[in-house]
Structure 1
Amino acid sequence: MIIGIDLGTTNSLVAVWRDGRAQLIPNALGEVLTPSCVSLDADGSVLVGRPAVERLQSHPERSAALFKRHMGSSRLTRLGTREFRPEELSALILKALKADAEAFLGEPVTEAIVTVPAYFSDAQRKATRAAGQIAGLRVERLLNEPTAAALAYGLHQREAESRFLVFDLGGGTFDVSVLELFDGVMEVRASAGDNFLGGEDFVNSLIDTAFERLQLPAALRQDETFMARLRAETEAAKRLLSLQASATIQVRQGDVLHRLDIDEALLEQTCAPLFKRLRLPVERALRDAGLRSSDLDAIVLAGGATRMPLVRRLVTMMFGRFPSTELDPDQVVAMGAAVQAGLKARDAALNEVVMTDVAPYSLGVEVGIWLDARTASQGHFDPIIERNSTVPISRVKQYIPQAAGQARLELQIYQGESRMVRDNIHLGSLTVPLPPQATVQECAVDVRFTYDVNGLLQVDATVLKTQQTHSLLIEGNPGLLSESQIAELLRAMAELKIHPRDQLENRTVMARAERLYEQLRGMEREHLGLQVLGFERTLASQNDRSIVPARRALNELLDALERHSTLDQEST
C-alpha cells in the first residue's frame, strides 16, 4: 500500500487513493491535521501531534516545532536530556502518520509519496528522504507541493491545453510554480519561492509589534514559558482575523495582564515587508516561464496561510482575477500526494499522466575572470545548468586552466543564483589531473553536469588531449546523514518509547489540563487540580466504561475554563 504524506512545517497530513478517490486519514483523535510538533514526556516517552502542542506552553524545554525549516542542516534540538536532528524529529511525525494509516487501512504500509516545497534544495530533499527511511518508509518519490496541489484540483485531467500558477503559502515556506498541461503531459515551466517565508513569519511580526506597543522588556524573550504562551495567543488571534474584523492578544506575566487589540489594518501595516516578499517569487516564476499573468488560465491556492483575507486580496490584485479556492488549502497538498500514489500504483480510475519537473536552483562551478592581461578576479559562479531547466537534463561547458604548466584543474561545484560563489552553496569538488608539457588550449576540459529527477548530480570532466574522464556523483551535502548514520538512527528509533496511540486521547486531555492549570489562579486552579486528580484515578482503574465519560467531563470543564478565561483575567 502506498500512502501520500504532506510533511508540513505547522501541520502534517496523510491520505490514500482508494475507491477511485483521494481520502484523508484521521489520526487517533479523529482529526486529519496532525501538528508537526514533538515533545518528550517525563517518563522518556515521545508525544507527537496535539498533546505535544499543548506541552509547547507548559514544557517548552521538552518540546519542539518548526523543525522542517532546518532540514538539510546538522542543527541539534535538545528535548530534556536528549538531542535530536531535524531528520529524527520529522521521522517521528512520519512514524505517527504511518501508524494512523495502518490503523485506518488495516494493513502494513511500507511506501509513501512525500511532498516537499518546490524550492527545497538538494540537501533538504535528501534529508526528507532520510527521515522517511528512519520512520520505516520507502520514499522513492518526492513530490513538489505545488504540483501536488495541481493534482488535487484535477488539473491533470483537463483535456484542453492550459497554463496555471500554484501559489503555496504554508506555515514555514512559500512556493510558486507555473505549470502547463498539453497532450497528457503536465510540465512545470518554472518554480520560485522562499524557504523562510510562511504563516509563522506573520506571527513573529505580530509578536514584535506586541513587544513594541506593550513596551515589554526585551529580557522576556528569554523566558521560554512566556514566549510559548505569547506565540500561542498570537497565532490564535491571527487565525481569528480570517473570520472576524478584530481579535485580542493577551498574556499574563506574573500579576500583570498584557493585552493588545489587533485588526486587519494593523496586520497589514505590521506585515508589509512580508507581503512585499510574496511578490518577488511570483514575478521571477512568470519571468522564467516567459509568461504574463494574463496568459494563465487559473490561479490555485495551497497552504493554510492563504486563508488570510489579506493574502487572498493580494493574489487577486496581482492577477486581476479571483483564485480557485474550492478545496481546503490545508488539505490540498495531501490530497494531491494521494493522487500521485494512485498514479504510481497505476489505478484504473486515473488517466495516465506524464509529469516533468525543473531544477529549482542553478548548478555550476567556480571560475576566475581576467580583468586585464595580468590580473584575474577569483570566486565567480558560472552556471552550467540554469534554474528552472526541465529535468532530467545534461549540459556541458569547456574550461581551460589559467596558467600554462598547471598540474591539475580544481573544479569547485556550487548551487545558487549569486554572482560570487561565496554566496552560494558548495556541493563538492573534483580534481582533474592535466597532461604535462601541454599548452593551455590542449589542457581544455569539457565539464558535463547531468541532473536527474531524484536530485542526483553527476559531474564528468573530460580532458580533451587525453580523453580521460574523471567523475563525481554528488549524493550528499555537508551536514547530511550517511547511510550508516541512517541505519544507526533507525535502530535508535526502534528503541525509543513512543506513547501508545490508543492512549493519545487521554494524554492530550492531560496535557491540555496541565497547560490551563499553569495559567489559572485561585479557586479555579484548585478546582481543576482536583478534577485532574480524579481523572488520573479513573485512568488507573483501566476501565474504559469509566474512562470515556470521565474524559468527556474533563474536556467540557477545560472548554468552559478557556471560554471564560478572558473575563476572569480582566477582573483580576
Structure 2
Amino acid sequence: MSSIIGIDLGTTNSAVGVWRDGQSVLIPNALGHVLTPSCVSIDDDGSVLTGRAAHDRVHTHPRLSTSSFKRYMGTDREVRLGSRTFRPEELSAFVLKSLKADAEAFLGAEVRDAVIAVPAYFSDAQRKATRIAGELAGLNVRRLINEPTAAALSYGVHLGDRESKFLIFDLGGGTFDVSVLDFFEGVMEVRASTGDNFLGGDDFTEALAQSLCRRNHLSMSTLSPTAAQRLNQLAERAKRQLTQNSGEAIAMTLTVEDKPYTMEIDAAEAERLFESLLQRLRKPVERALRDARIPVDSLDEIILVGGATRMPVVRKLVSKMFGRLPAVHLNPDEVVALGAAVQAGLVAQDAGLEELVLTDVAPYSLGIDTSVQVGQNDFVPGHFLPIIERNTIVPVSRVRRVFTVRDQQDVVIIRVFQGEARLTRDNVSLGEFRLEVPRKPAGQAGADVRFTYDVSGVLEVQATAIPDGGTRSIVIEENPGVLSPDEVRERMAALADIKIHPRERMENRALLARADRIYEELLGESRMFLANHIARFQALLERQDAQEIAHAHKELSSLLDSFDAQQTY
C-alpha cells in the first residue's frame, strides 16, 4: 500500500513527513536536511532547481530565481524567470515535486497521496490553489489541514485524558495565523482562527533593510537587483544574529559601487523598529480570543510555531500578552510537518492512531450584496449582509431572507462575497446569479438565501423565491485568480516539457550555487582563491570519478564553511 505523506508547504522552508512505526518521521532531502527552502531557480542549462541550490541563486541570479511565492497563492500574479513566466501554483508545484521525490527515495516506493498543511487564514481561493499545486506536482491531495491544527497534533495535545484549551501562535516567513482550539472527548475543535496572510518574518527582514536605506539616504527602488538581494541577505543575517545574540549590537554594511553604507542596531533599537509589526501581531490574537469567547486565563497552553517565533521580540510580546512563557520545546520549523504526518496517518487509518475528530471553521464571513434603506423610499446598494460569519464551525448551513426594494420588481440578483468589510466593494466577489420573483409591491416579495459550506471549502448558494417557491442555486467552486480544470490540464502539459534538475546531482549543484554566492561577496585574494577551487571542482565533475568528486566536495564545503564563519565579506 502506498504511503500518504504529510507536507508543510511553507513560505520560507518546506518539509515532508510520514507516519511510520507509531510516530511522525521527517524525511531528509537530497542534501540530508529535513527543511527545503521554498525557492525556485532556472539553471544555466534551462533546468529547474529547487531548494538550497535555488536559494543561493536568489542572491547570484535574481532574474532567474524567486522565493516567497506562497504569499500570492490564489491570485493570477505571474513571475518571470528568464524567458518563461510561472504562476504561484506552478512554482509551488516544483517544490512539491522535489518533496515527493525525496519521499519516494526515502520510502523506496512511489508516492501518490498527500496531506498538505495551509495557513488557517487562507481563503477559499488560496486553498484551491494549493490543491492545484499538488495536482500539478502529481499528487492526490487527500486533505488540507490547517497549520495550527497540525502543530497541535505534533505536540500531542490530543493524547491527553482531559479537556484542554490552547492557542497556537504561528508566525512563519510570510504568513501569520492564530487559532484557539478546544480538545474534549476525542474531538479537536477549532474555536476561532484569524491572522494576516501578509505578515511574517520576511517583513521584519524588510524593516531592517529599509532602516539601513533611510539612515544612508538610499532608495531600495533604485538599487540593482543584485544589490537589493545583497541587502536582503544582510538584513536576514542581522535578524538571525539579533535572535541568537540579543545583547550585542549588530553591524550591517552594504557596498554599492565600491561605496560602503553602514548601520549598527541592537536588540532594544530593533524592538522600536519592529513596533508597528508587533502591533499587527497583537490584533489577530485579540480577535481570535474574542471570537472564541475564551478568557486568557482559561488557556492551558500557548504554543509557538514558525521560525519567526525564534525572535526575542516576538517571544517577549507573547509572554507579555499572556502573562506566561509559551511552549517552545519542539522545533518551530518542524512542528507543522510533523503534525501533517500525523494527519496523514489518520487519513490512512493507521492502527497505531486512535480515532480523532477534527472540526474546522470558516476563516472568513460569507454573505451577499444588499441595499440599506436610508429614507422612506431611498435605498443605498453595495452593503454586505453576512450569512455565515467567520469562525462558524463547518460543515454549516444558514439562511437569510431578503426582500425587493421596488414595486413590481421581477428579479433579484444574488451577488456572493467573502470578507469582513461593511461594503461589498471592499470584499472578495465569489459569483452571482439571477432569481425571478413575483411582481408585487416592494417588500412583499423576495428570497430565502441559503449558504451551505462544507469542510472542503465548497460553498453552495441556493435562493428560493417568496412567496411562490421558485429556486435557483450555484456551487462556488471557481474563484477569481484560480485556474479552471481546463487551464490546469494546459499547465500540466506545459510543465511536462520543463526539465527538472536530477535529484541525484542536487548535492553538487547546491554546493556550486553556494560557492557562487560566497564568491560574489568576497574581494581580493580570497575571491581568487575560491575561484580556483570552484574551477577545480567543476573540472572533476566533468571527469565523473565518484571518489574524486566526493573528496573535492568535502574540501570545497569545508572552505565555504570557513568563509561563512568569518562573516567579513
Q: TM-score, normalised by structure 2?
A: 0.97
- Tell me the CA shift for residue 175 of structure 1: 0.5
Mapped pair 1:534 → 2:551:
no
Number of the residue aligned with 1:446: 448
- Tell me the CA shift for residue 441 of structure 1: 4.7
Question: For the residues of structure 2 that align with 1:23 and 1:214, how far apart are their CA atoms?
Answer: 48
Question: For the residues of structure 2 that align with 1:183 and 1:565, how far apart are their CA atoms?
Answer: 53
- Tell me the CA shift for residue 548 of structure 1: 0.5
Question: For the residues of structure 2 that align with 1:285 and 1:340, how far apart are their CA atoms?
Answer: 24
Equivalent AA in structure 2 for residue 353 of structure 1: L
SS in 2 for 1:291: coil
SS in 2 for 1:534: helix
Question: For the residues of structure 2 that align with 1:217 and 1:117, how far apart are their CA atoms?
Answer: 33
CA RMSD of aligned residues (A): 1.2
Question: For the residues of structure 2 that align with 1:248 and 1:94, how far apart are their CA atoms?
Answer: 37
- Tell me the CA shift for residue 430 of structure 1: 1.3
The answer to whether the Cα contact below 8 Å between 2:412 and 2:446 also exists between their aligned partners in 1 is: no
Number of the residue aligned with 2:168: 166
SS in 1 for 2:382: strand
- Tell me the CA shift for residue 376 of structure 1: 1.2
- Tell me the CA shift for residue 183 of structure 1: 1.0
Cα deviation code 1:17-59 (max 9, x no counterpart):
0000000000000001100000001211000010111111110
SS in 2 for 1:257: strand
Equivalent AA in structure 2 for residue 54 of structure 1: D
Mapped pair 1:261 → 2:259:
no
Number of the residue aligned with 1:555: 557
Mapped pair 1:290 → 2:293:
yes
SS in 2 for 1:241: helix
Equivalent AA in structure 2 for residue 104 of structure 1: F
Equivalent AA in structure 1 for residue 432 of structure 2: S
Mapped pair 1:56 → 2:58:
yes
Q: TM-score, normalised by structure 1?
A: 0.97
The answer to whether the Cα contact below 8 Å between 2:405 and 2:443 also exists between their aligned partners in 1 is: no
- Tell me the CA shift for residue 442 of structure 1: 4.7
- Where do 1:209-220 residues align within 5 Å? 209-218=211-220, 220=222
Number of the residue aligned with 1:470: 472
Aligned counterpart for 1:380 among listed residues 380, 383, 390: 383
Number of the residue aligned with 1:301: 304
The answer to whether the Cα contact below 8 Å between 1:220 and 1:226 also exists between their aligned partners in 2 is: no
Question: For the residues of structure 2 that align with 1:394 and 1:149, how far apart are their CA atoms?
Answer: 29
- Tell me the CA shift for residue 524 of structure 1: 2.3
Question: For the residues of structure 1 that align with 2:58 and 2:404, how far apart are their CA atoms?
Answer: 56
Number of the residue aligned with 2:244: 243
Number of the residue aligned with 1:149: 151
**Aligned CA distance change for structure 1 residues 376 and 38 (closer, same or farther; 3 Å):** same
Question: For the residues of structure 1 that align with 2:567 and 2:456, how far apart are their CA atoms?
Answer: 51
SS in 1 for 2:359: strand
Question: For the residues of structure 1 that align with 2:221 and 2:312, how far apart are their CA atoms?
Answer: 34
**Aligned CA distance change for structure 1 residues 257 and 441 (closer, same or farther; 3 Å):** closer
Question: For the residues of structure 2 that align with 1:319 and 1:293, how far apart are their CA atoms?
Answer: 7
- Tell me the CA shift for residue 328 of structure 1: 0.4
Cα deviation code 1:226-267 (max 9, x no counterpart):
010111111111111111123332222232233322211121
Number of the residue aligned with 1:225: 226
Which structure 1 residue ranges, 5 or more long, are not aligned? none
Which structure 2 residue ranges, 5 or more long, are not aligned? none
Question: For the residues of structure 2 that align with 1:218 and 1:189, how far apart are their CA atoms?
Answer: 42
Question: For the residues of structure 1 that align with 2:154 and 2:417, how far apart are their CA atoms?
Answer: 35
- Tell me the CA shift for residue 218 of structure 1: 4.9
Question: For the residues of structure 1 that align with 2:393 and 2:219, how far apart are their CA atoms?
Answer: 51
Q: 409-418 vs 464-473, which deviates more?
A: 464-473
- Tell me the CA shift for residue 516 of structure 1: 2.1
The answer to whether the Cα contact below 8 Å between 1:157 and 1:351 also exists between their aligned partners in 2 is: no
- Where do 1:448-527 residues align within 5 Å? 448-527=450-529
Cα deviation code 1:479-505 (max 9, x no counterpart):
110111111212222221000101111
Number of the residue aligned with 2:405: 402
Equivalent AA in structure 2 for residue 116 of structure 1: V
Question: For the residues of structure 1 that align with 2:204 and 2:240, how far apart are their CA atoms?
Answer: 11
SS in 1 for 2:422: coil
The answer to whether the Cα contact below 8 Å between 1:17 and 1:341 also exists between their aligned partners in 2 is: yes
Q: 486-495 vs 175-184, which deviates more?
A: 486-495
Equivalent AA in structure 2 for residue 158 of structure 1: G
Number of the residue aligned with 2:73: 71
**Aligned CA distance change for structure 1 residues 300 and 562 (closer, same or farther; 3 Å):** closer
Number of the residue aligned with 1:121: 123
Question: For the residues of structure 1 that align with 2:567 and 2:429, how far apart are their CA atoms?
Answer: 52
**Aligned CA distance change for structure 1 residues 217 and 457 (closer, same or farther; 3 Å):** closer
Cα deviation code 1:445-489 (max 9, x no counterpart):
110000000000000001123322101000011111011111121
**Aligned CA distance change for structure 1 residues 219 and 132 (closer, same or farther; 3 Å):** closer
Aligned counterpart for 2:12 among listed residues 10, 13, 16: 10
**Aligned CA distance change for structure 1 residues 218 and 453 (closer, same or farther; 3 Å):** closer
Overall identity of the aligned pairs, in %: 53
Mapped pair 1:367 → 2:370:
yes
Aligned counterpart for 2:348 among listed residues 324, 345, 366: 345
Question: For the residues of structure 2 that align with 1:470 and 1:439, how far apart are their CA atoms?
Answer: 22
Question: For the residues of structure 1 that align with 2:207 and 2:316, how far apart are their CA atoms?
Answer: 19
Aligned counterpart for 1:196 among listed residues 188, 195, 198: 198
Mapped pair 1:432 → 2:435:
yes
Equivalent AA in structure 1 for residue 386 of structure 2: P
Question: For the residues of structure 2 that align with 1:136 and 1:558, how far apart are their CA atoms?
Answer: 36
Cα deviation code 1:272-319 (max 9, x no counterpart):
000011110111011011111001111111011111111111111111
Question: For the residues of structure 1 that align with 2:220 and 2:422, how far apart are their CA atoms?
Answer: 38
Equivalent AA in structure 1 for residue 404 of structure 2: P
Equivalent AA in structure 2 for residue 521 of structure 1: L
Question: For the residues of structure 2 that align with 1:338 and 1:220, how far apart are their CA atoms?
Answer: 45
Question: For the residues of structure 1 that align with 2:443 and 2:536, how far apart are their CA atoms?
Answer: 86
Question: For the residues of structure 1 that align with 2:164 and 2:526, how far apart are their CA atoms?
Answer: 60
The answer to whether the Cα contact below 8 Å between 2:447 and 2:466 also exists between their aligned partners in 1 is: yes
SS in 1 for 2:203: helix
The answer to whether the Cα contact below 8 Å between 1:306 and 1:329 also exists between their aligned partners in 2 is: yes
The answer to whether the Cα contact below 8 Å between 1:252 and 1:258 also exists between their aligned partners in 2 is: yes
Count of residue pairs brought into register by the alignment: 565
Equivalent AA in structure 2 for residue 454 of structure 1: S
Question: For the residues of structure 2 that align with 1:220 and 1:464, how far apart are their CA atoms?
Answer: 61
SS in 2 for 1:348: coil
Question: For the residues of structure 2 that align with 1:562 and 1:438, how far apart are their CA atoms?
Answer: 78
SS in 2 for 1:259: strand
Question: For the residues of structure 2 that align with 1:70 and 1:458, how far apart are their CA atoms?
Answer: 25
Equivalent AA in structure 2 for residue 431 of structure 1: R
The answer to whether the Cα contact below 8 Å between 2:134 and 2:141 also exists between their aligned partners in 1 is: yes
Question: For the residues of structure 2 that align with 1:548 and 1:34, how far apart are their CA atoms?
Answer: 22
The answer to whether the Cα contact below 8 Å between 1:111 and 1:138 also exists between their aligned partners in 2 is: yes
Equivalent AA in structure 2 for residue 234 of structure 1: A
- Tell me the CA shift for residue 202 of structure 1: 0.4
Question: For the residues of structure 1 that align with 2:535 and 2:173, how far apart are their CA atoms?
Answer: 36
SS in 1 for 2:243: coil
**Aligned CA distance change for structure 1 residues 242 and 318 (closer, same or farther; 3 Å):** same
Equivalent AA in structure 2 for residue 11 of structure 1: N
